[in-house]
Amino acid sequence: PLDSLQGVRARLLNLRAETVGSQLYYLLGTVAGFFFLAFGIAKQVDIIRRQDKLSQMREDFSYAMVHDMKTPISTLLMAVRNLRSGRLDAKPERKREHFDLLEKESLHLLDLTNRVLTLSKMEHHQLLLDKDWHPLRPVVDELIQVFEAKAAKPVTFSTDLQAEAVYADMEFLKEALSNLIDNALKYSKDTVEVRIASRQEGGFVRISVRDNGIGIPLSAQRTIFDKFERVLPRDDGSGQKKVSGFGLGLNYVMNVTREHGGYVSVESVQGRFSEFTISLPESLTPGPSPKERGEGMESE
């Protein structure tokens, strides 16, 4: 201060400090730029890896579909040629067997086609479910009868149906259960034990299919429900044969369960068992039970 009214203010500049400060800002900007560049490169590599995986999955799916369709198509052609040749005209029993074979393989091809179309509708949320109360036992008994007839190895079924009815579209639920039982037979040992159970718990009807098969590795249990994903048995000298399929069965089960507002879970120990559980919500507005509607329900 010079007096009560005037004064002098001075500002000293450190040119070296200002230069170092500006260089530090440039350095930080450069480091941040390198981080962004590295992140972009890593992201691009991840995208390329995902595209390669998707391409490989499509190739595997195409191969599996062609392989799975080749056998029924070849069988159809063989049966048609035999029938057309006239050699079976004098053998009515053999002729009937060929017609049965034609029907069976045609239904197999239709089932494969419908499964792919159903999954496509589910992904686009175009699937319409016709849900109602249905008894479980007749459906389970029918599936057991079918798989006992076509099983290529000794199989024993047991049931524990504590929940007698379920609110669902039975056509799709039956196909989902069929996929689970089919997997239990495919990924099994020399003798198969399958247990089908149901119970009511926490507002859900839980339907489980348990086997004594080869089990699923813990690392694969997170991805087995993905589309085209398959867990191939390891060649450990146990004689387990490779199984055919598209990798769509469990994805179908998951999507059907989700469309019903439920979820599917898995519990498995390698070499001991696998248990899949479909949990479907009970109807918010329960209708009459199967007994009240006059549908007979057998007791176990």
Place of tokens 């972009």: 40
pLDDT of residue 246: 57
Query: Torsion angle of alpha carbons 285, 289, 295, 296, nearest 10°?
Result: 150
Contacts of 112 (CB under 8 A, 6+ apart): 65, 68, 69, 246
Tell me the pairing of strands 273-281 and 263-269.
Answer: antiparallel
C-alpha–C-alpha distance, residues 174 and 139, integer Å: 7
pLDDT of residue 98: 82
**Burial of 11 by CB count in 10 Å (0-12 exposed, 13-18 middle, 19+ buried)?**
exposed
In order along its 300 residues, the chain shows pLDDT tens digits of: 778 788 888 877 776 766 776 777 788 888 888 888 899 899 888 888 888 877 766 666 666 666 667 777 888 888 888 888 887 788 888 888 888 888 877 877 777 777 677 766 666 666 778 888 999 999 999 999 888 877 778 889 999 999 999 999 898 899 899 889 988 888 887 888 999 999 999 899 999 999 988 888 887 778 788 776 666 555 444 444 555 555 677 888 888 898 889 999 999 888 888 999 999 998 754 444 444 444 444 333
Tokens describing residue 180: 């689970």
pLDDT of residue 83: 82
Contact 266, 278 (CB under 8 A): no
At 209, give phi and psi (nearest 5°). -125, 115
**Burial of 231 by CB count in 10 Å (0-12 exposed, 13-18 middle, 19+ buried)?**
buried
Upper half-sphere CA count for residue 149 (Cβ side, 13 Å): 6
3-state DSSP assignment of residue 109: helix
Contact 196, 209 (CB under 8 A): yes
Specify the DSSP class assigned to residue 64: H
pLDDT of residue 295: 44
C-alpha–C-alpha distance, residues 46 and 79, integer Å: 50
Contact 169, 138 (CB under 8 A): no
pLDDT of residue 26: 80
| pTM for this prediction | 0.61
C-alpha–C-alpha distance, residues 247 and 232, integer Å: 10
Contact 256, 173 (CB under 8 A): yes
pLDDT of residue 134: 92
Q: Which residues of 157-176 are buried (b: 16+ CB within 10 A; e: fewer)?
A: beeebebbbbbbbbebbbbb
**Burial of 25 by CB count in 10 Å (0-12 exposed, 13-18 middle, 19+ buried)?**
exposed
